[in-house]
Structure 1
């Protein structure tokens, strides 16, 4: 009964111990969690170069490449893959294991023996082991199968590192597209928002005066209502565009990793209707896209990883051969030799893997077939994107020219209207309407130019051309990086497709 009681007590104590180690969910404290995130973000922004003046296009590009958090994620992922590759290199090395074992028992591990010939047992017990022992060994072992498999995995890891580089290239191209669009829209906002406020105030007053004239029957009701309708439509169009322009400046700040409340100004270039040249013929652009597009290069690396997987399953099905060399020492005083060198070799082969190999091979081959078919589909999509980018760029160029002509016509109308208003031959309401129409024409031209800049960046993104040249590391200061970007984009059309 006593042993059972002891076992019960031990079991109960173990249960209580395990119950006491139970882990309970610990939800985050919202306040401390928010404060920690805000502090981390402030630390990141504090390490950035401060804005010292109006920001130009290439400085905006440089700040986005240098400080954009999405880009930083890709940089860190690239570093992670490189370090994982270094780690895989250690898997190919032999194992060197040092072991120390200390043992103690309460009595001697003695024993008696029985003769196999006579069946007689020895009268006295004997021991060859001390109550307390200390043994150690240092063993060097190497498995040929593990080495072969580690080598294949290292090659796959090298391709994963290259994939992270392609993803980074893709992110940079997307950021540059977004920066060019947001920058030119934000420029339009800086140019026109103050005028919009003044003209909008005049428009509100003009609508009220028109309503007053209508109520007093000074003008025909239909004429007054027609004027109000036109003016309100222009106000609605301007308000919609104004909303887009205000958001553009915040979007640009986010791309440059500036805080939303950060107030900054932009360099306001002169308006121009010049359109850059296409970077090459359709055939040249397609050839370049097939060579440089990050998605296609990533797909090729994926196919190569799949091919290496065939090598891996082949290696896994080979016999395992392990050799070992050890230095051993034992403090047991009863041993005749307390230190010795040991060697061993072992060969093993899981024969069941031979039967699994065909099925596993077919599965990996099927995965490779999927990757190759996906690569073909992606290739066709890339060719389509190149064609669409060319057509879009050409069409946007035409829209820009049309917007410019509309603006010039509206400027002439406004000049004549102002002259007529001074001569009191044109009403104040008509002047306000033309003032608003002129601002609207300017905004539409600016937006058309922003669309053209986005289409221009999309041309180079469609062929996979890098935004930064190899000698640019991204660690340069903002001014140096901006100068390098300006040089690249100004000479781009002649350099990319040579």
Structure 2
């Protein structure tokens, strides 16, 4: 009687605990973060944005800017972390290939004996007294190993798929680096124009504003015809607006470069003065047949390489689907222990094997095969569509380079003419054969031509980067350590010194797109 009372009390207590847990689970409400916790997190993020960076020690040149971008740019560091994460997931997936090794221990009790009678099959009479062979309180323990052959096969395929995802993450990192180097190169030359002209633009704006005031005074005093003064003032205002827009664009170029190399936006830095190379355009002309560049792009572009790995993942998915429909074979072995004085053997070893087959899943095999074929067709169609886009980008990059080169050559001629015109205007003002207005006009035109020359040079630099990016050329070899800023800078400087045709031909030979010419042996 006492044992039944204890049992009922235990059941009631268990029910009360279950009801309490159910009540707590149903009463959960959204718990928004407090403004203080958000502000604390934001302050911590702000403090970590620009930490662990080598300080600037002098003027920055293009290799410096590219090296700092490769090491400190936030987006590139994110792709490195994604690659590391994919690699960690691969290591984790490899553990699924191992057999399952499990150990367990437990305690069991009941409020009555696990007793039973034996009944005669023929007569239905109960024979003998009730007996039991298991005690009320028991200690249980076992250590066992089990291996499912089918699960091993599927896990192996999943691990191969994860290995391909690691390679896809690496291709994404390559693409980010290529785009980053292209953006840094363009931003650097625009920022170089800002360093060269920002002060001159500010001074010229002050002169134009002063000329505007003097023209206003002359108009008020009627020292010149009103119509002439109005036209003069309107021209000055137009020039002033254009100069102010140019000054804003120059200032934005420095901010853009600072962001790319992960400097705080308000950081004061100066660029190393670099004169424009008049022969740069001719020395870096691609000089490679367009069909060869198109085939090189289809071979090297990170997006297409990633799509090929994605197609391989799709093929392995087909294998995994088919494999999962086959009969499964479980193999297991264990060592067991159970306490109690009624057992003849308290510990024993056990081995077993079992095969199983889901007949309904086997019936889905034709549907699974059609699904896999559709997946492979979609992967192939996506890769072909991307190939068309890549070939188009190569052609656009070559055309953009031709336009940029022609524009740079024209800008050189215009700048030479405007500088000569400025010199002549200065002589005329000194000889008092021309007004100060003509000198201001000549200064504006000369400054605008020089800025246009720098902008066309920046566009030429960007067009060369677009060619390299469109064919998938990496800015640096994979062997260069990315954590050494000095080594990065030296490698980038050597790479920039190499003409573009040489870099293109090297990749064409290495990939086998073009046969490498045989070097004649010297006698």
Common fold, TM-score beyond 0.5?
yes
The corresponding residue for 1:326 is 334
The corresponding residue for 1:433 is 441
Q: Is the 8 A contact 1:200 1:436 kept in 2?
A: no
The corresponding residue for 2:495 is 488
Q: Is the 8 A contact 2:205 2:244 kept in 1?
A: no
The 3-state SS of whatever aligns with 2:350 is strand
The corresponding residue for 2:242 is 237
The 3-state SS of whatever aligns with 1:496 is helix
Decide which moves more: 413-422 or 136-145: 413-422
Whole-Å separation in 2 of the counterparts to 1:323 and 1:337: 24
1:137-156 mapped onto 2 (5 Å cutoff): 137-156=142-161
CA apart distance, 1:312: 0.9
CA apart distance, 1:11: 6.2
The corresponding residue for 1:346 is 354
For residue 20 of structure 1, the aligned residue among 17, 24, 35 is 24
The 3-state SS of whatever aligns with 2:39 is helix
1:195-344 mapped onto 2 (5 Å cutoff): 195-273=200-278, 274-275=280-281, 276-279=283-286, 280-344=288-352
The corresponding residue for 2:514 is none
Note the alpha carbon deviations across 1:126-152, whole angstroms, 9 max, x for none.
Answer: 221122111111111111110111111
The corresponding residue for 2:509 is none
CA apart distance, 1:9: 9.4
Q: Which runs of 5+ in 2 are unaligned?
A: 507-523
Aligned Cα root-mean-square deviation (Å): 2.3
Q: Does 1:68 align with 2:73?
A: yes
The corresponding residue for 2:47 is 42
Q: Relative CO higher for 1 or 2, CA cutoff 8 Å, sep ≥ 6?
A: 1
Whole-Å separation in 2 of the counterparts to 1:72 and 1:29: 30
CA apart distance, 1:456: 1.0
The corresponding residue for 1:360 is 368
Whole-Å separation in 2 of the counterparts to 1:341 and 1:10: 35
CA apart distance, 1:295: 1.0
Q: Is the 8 A contact 1:110 1:127 kept in 2?
A: yes
The corresponding residue for 2:103 is 98
Whole-Å separation in 2 of the counterparts to 1:202 and 1:58: 37
Decide which moves more: 339-348 or 398-407: 398-407
CA apart distance, 1:38: 3.1
The corresponding residue for 1:479 is 486
Whole-Å separation in 1 of the counterparts to 2:499 and 2:376: 37
Whole-Å separation in 2 of the counterparts to 1:278 and 1:94: 60
Whole-Å separation in 2 of the counterparts to 1:431 and 1:30: 60
CA apart distance, 1:77: 0.6
Q: Is the 8 A contact 1:210 1:429 kept in 2?
A: no
Q: Does 1:30 align with 2:35?
A: yes
Q: Which runs of 5+ in 1 are unaligned?
A: none
Note the alpha carbon deviations across 1:286-320, whole angstroms, 9 max, x for none.
Answer: 12111100111111111111111111111011110
Whole-Å separation in 2 of the counterparts to 1:289 and 1:387: 11
Q: Is the 8 A contact 2:209 2:240 kept in 1?
A: no
Q: Does 1:174 align with 2:182?
A: no
Distance 1:277 1:225, change over 3 A: same
The corresponding residue for 2:162 is 157
Whole-Å separation in 2 of the counterparts to 1:13 and 1:301: 52
For residue 442 of structure 1, the aligned residue among 430, 447, 450 is 450
Distance 1:20 1:94, change over 3 A: closer
Note the alpha carbon deviations across 1:327-375, whole angstroms, 9 max, x for none.
Answer: 1111122111111111111001111122211112212211221111111
CA apart distance, 1:452: 1.1
Q: Is the 8 A contact 2:301 2:471 kept in 1?
A: yes
CA apart distance, 1:229: 2.8
Whole-Å separation in 1 of the counterparts to 2:328 and 2:58: 67
The corresponding residue for 2:414 is 406
The 3-state SS of whatever aligns with 2:140 is strand
Whole-Å separation in 1 of the counterparts to 2:362 and 2:132: 48
Distance 1:433 1:52, change over 3 A: same
For residue 114 of structure 1, the aligned residue among 116, 119, 124 is 119
Whole-Å separation in 1 of the counterparts to 2:24 and 2:88: 40
Distance 1:272 1:239, change over 3 A: farther
Q: Is the 8 A contact 2:193 2:455 kept in 1?
A: yes
Whole-Å separation in 1 of the counterparts to 2:18 and 2:96: 39
Distance 1:172 1:229, change over 3 A: same
Note the alpha carbon deviations across 1:67-120, whole angstroms, 9 max, x for none.
Answer: 111111110110111111111111111111111121112332223322335543
Q: Is the 8 A contact 2:107 2:139 kept in 1?
A: yes
CA apart distance, 1:164: 0.4
May I ask how many residue pairs the two structures share in their alignment?
496
